[in-house]
Structure 1
Amino acid sequence: MAERAQERDRERDRPALPRIRLDLPRERRARLLPEYDPEAFGRLSERIARFLGTGRFLVWMTLTIVVWVLWNVFAPPPLKFDEYPFIFLTLALSLQASYAAPLILLAQNRQDDRDRVNLEQDRKQNERSIADTEYLTREIAALRMGLGEVATRDWMRSELQDMLKELESRDGERRDVFPPDGDRHSDVPDR
């Protein structure tokens, strides 16, 4: 804030030069309206809107109106400040409503903006999760295909026995390289 004020003072003190070069920024114009921080104003409006939506506000508002009406009905005539039609009360309530409605709308707009950002982040996160899931699915499928090509013990035995039979047919004698085991005819224990 202080830096911004110093910068404005420096700009005001500079002599006004005609803008000849296009690569130089324009001089800042004097503003008629005061500058404000929209973020701070938005936070304030959200706090007010949150308070207006509480039971505490309704209780205090009701008590204020009841005390106002009772005072102006039963107080001695010189102490009454708003007679029976309660015009001043009506004016105060309509003024409060005229400020409350835009503040509530501003708070809702800010909430909508936050919700939109959260939804966008959720959508991106879901896209990443879907991509990761698809990648893992492809990897699992590749592993299953690769496991289908892995040689099992039964397949290796059958290949070796075929080779042994081929060798026996050449030599004429039988060699018992793989003695039969009672439980060893399946590769179930290998898994």
Structure 2
Amino acid sequence: MTIPYTRGDSFSGGDSREHIKRALVGYGATDVLFSQRGHRSAIAFRGGGRQFRIVLSLSQSDEIPLGRGDTAEGPVREAKSKVIERANRRSWHALALAIDAKLAAVAAGISTLEAEFLAHVVLPGNRTVFDELEPVIDSAYRSGRRPLFGDSAPSTPAAAPEIPADVPVLHPVPGPAALGWA
């Protein structure tokens, strides 16, 4: 039997946001801010000399059509509002769990703050790493070619990281053309 806590139903969105803020501050983050614009909420913070922003899309009442001309429109609207509220509570709870897991990996020395939140690093120009890299990665998969990063190739190749002998060798993923998708 699943208890309400594990489903994210027993905490309000505000409780989850407060939990996120306390967890981040506990790991040394500063300037933790929440904002909302339309159906999108965001959390921004600073840590490890970087700025981070995580955007969360939330459900809104205009996404669920209402019946018209029925005397039950009020109760229907109220029921739909509760469904939306529960979905948004679950989203905030899931984000809180994800952030807890990332911070636990950092605390255990498994990862770094930058690695765990890399997609959410805010670059100059107010775009995130994900915003910048998503089209590059998409293009690489469509073309089957390795993307070039930066303005030019490095003058000397970087040394390959040392990999233990017992780690299996990963083979490159074939491009769309090799799979017959292009």
Scaled to the shorter chain, the TM-score interval is: under 0.3
For the pair shown, the structure with the greater C-alpha radius of gyration is: 1
Query: What is the TM-score when the length of structure 1 is the normalising length?
Result: 0.22
Query: What is the TM-score when the length of structure 2 is the normalising length?
Result: 0.23
Larger strand fraction of residues: 2
